[in-house]
Amino acid sequence: MATSRTIAITGANSGIGLRAAAQLAAAGHTVLALCRDAERSSIAISAATGNAQNVRIVQTDLSSPTSIRRAADEMKAYGALDALINNAAIFDLSQKTAAFTAEGNELFWATNHLGPFELTARLSPLLAAAPQPRIVFIASKGLITMPWLQIRFDQLNSATGYSPTKAYYQAKLAQVMTATSLAERVPSNVGVSCIRVPAVKLDSARLAAQPALLRALYAPKNAAAATPETLAATYVRAATRSTPQDGVYIDENDHAVPIPRSARDGAARERLWALSEHAAGDVEWAW
Ligand SMILES: NC(=O)c1ccc[n+]([C@@H]2O[C@H](COP(=O)([O-])OP(=O)(O)OC[C@H]3O[C@@H](n4cnc5c(N)ncnc54)[C@H](OP(=O)(O)O)[C@@H]3O)[C@@H](O)[C@H]2O)c1
């Protein structure tokens, strides 16, 4: 495989995604930075990469199927895509009531699960055109504290009993489930992984935007957390490795870790796949 690859990463304007974009650009790869605010992202990415010329911003709002479809169409110009890193997510745990997209999907579910699913499906023909494509999903180590968590299929878009924490972790569980299912569908040259991200320091602007109580709660966690650069390096290894790794679900050191109970439930995974595919307009995958 050529050493210089074309790699797309969502949420490349802050936190881990920004550091991963910078590391990939510094290694000479062409980086497609999929961000919802092109102007704000351009400033952040230029600063982090020293104005690198091998980074292109593709305006993409993961909560909007229309935006995802436009971005995927725009990216056809690249012919082939060596890797996709589904990094973007929202996790504002101060959100008291459920918000919904124009399509009627709960916002955390839409942004953190349906968006990555549809983006991956729509980019699958481009990925299939690369010799050794790599697809990376992002979950959270916090899932360990909820071993019994399941996708609440009948309440996904309900405002009743809303909890941002549940909404967030349900979508993260869906990342592990989707990666597990996709890994079973793809041919052997395609590598699929899901990174179990531990606590990582948040960017100061992200932290400052939180209410005072959450800032105070985050402070000790943030002090002890891993650096975004460390996790960015994990992303880069997952997106550029020349041989598929051992397990689908890996930690920050690339070691396979046990997948959550729900992700081992084949029927739940099939139900999730069907529901997600339908939300994505019954998109056709390359595999
Ligand atoms: N930090 C942690 O402790 C931790 C722990 C476990 C897992 N994770 C996971 O790690 C990943 C990166 O998190 P981070 O710590 O780097 O957080 P971050 O700095 O808040 O980055 C999140 C990124 O997602 C983007 N994003 C949010 N909504 C979007 C949308 N609708 N469309 C497109 N982009 C959108 C944000 O863009 P805007 O600037 O436009 O909002 C931002 O670039 C996430 O998947 C997160 O769930 C993080």
- Residue 43 within any structural domain of the chain: yes
Relative to beta strand 30-35, strand 55-59 is: parallel
Mean pLDDT of 22-48: 98
Q: Per-residue pLDDT tens for 114-130?
A: 999 999 999 999 999 99
Indicate if ligand 1 lies below 6 Å from the C-beta of 164: no
219 part of a folded domain: yes
**CA distances for 233 relative to 1, 13, 44, 238, 273, angstroms:** 20, 16, 19, 9, 29
Pairing of strands 191-197, 134-140: parallel
Are 126 and 188 spatial neighbours (Cβ–Cβ below 8 Å)?
no
- Whether residue 89 is contained in a domain is answered as yes
- Determine the average pLDDT of the residues in 224-247: 94
**Does the pLDDT value for residue 15 go beyond 90?**
yes
Buried b or exposed e, range 140-174, using 16+ CB within 10 angstroms = bbbbeebeebebeeeebeeeeebebeebbbbbbbb
Q: What is the mean pLDDT of residues 149-153?
A: 96
pLDDT of residue 111 exceeding 60, the answer is yes
pLDDT at 1 over 50: no
According to the model, what pLDDT value does residue 138 have?
A: 98
Q: Which domain holds residue 206?
A: 6-278
CATH at 230 = 3.40.50.720
- CA–CA separation, 120 and 116 (whole Å): 6
Q: What is the pLDDT of residue 58?
A: 98
Residue 93 pLDDT > 90? no
* Number of domains present in the structure of the chain: 1
Ligand 1 centroid to residue 241 C-alpha, Å: 23
Output the pLDDT for position 3: 81
Q: Is residue 156 part of a domain?
A: yes
**DSSP-derived 3-state class of residue 258:** coil
pLDDT, one tens digit per residue, over 250-273 is: 999 999 999 999 899 999 999 999
Residue 180 Cα to ligand 1 middle (Å): 22
Average pLDDT score over residue span 200-217: 87
If you measure from the C-alpha of residue 1 to the centroid of ligand 1, how many angstroms do you get, rounded to a whole number? 30
* Tokens coding 123: 């980019």
Average pLDDT score over residue span 121-141 = 98
**Which of 131, 135, 123, 136 lies closest to 2 in space, CA to CA?**
131
Cβ atoms 67, 118 nearer than 8 A: no
CB-ligand 1 contact for 232 (6 Å cutoff): no
The answer to whether position 285 is within a domain reads no
Tell me, yes or no, whether 287 lies in a domain: no
Span 182-194, pLDDT tens digits:
999 999 999 999 9
Task: Tell whether the model's pLDDT for residue 210 goes beyond 90.
Answer: no
Distance 18 CA to ligand 1 centre (A): 10
Token code pair at residue 100: 């919904």
Q: Mean pLDDT in the chain?
A: 95
Residue labelled with tokens 């953190």: 112
In a domain, 286, yes or no: no
Share of the chain above pLDDT 90, in %: 87
DSSP 193: E
pLDDT of 2 over the 60 cut: no
Does the beta carbon of 44 sit less than 6 angstroms from any atom of ligand 1? no
Query: How confident is the model at residue 213, as a pLDDT?
Result: 84
**Among candidate residues 9, 6, 21, 30, the one with its CA nearest the CA of residue 82:** 6
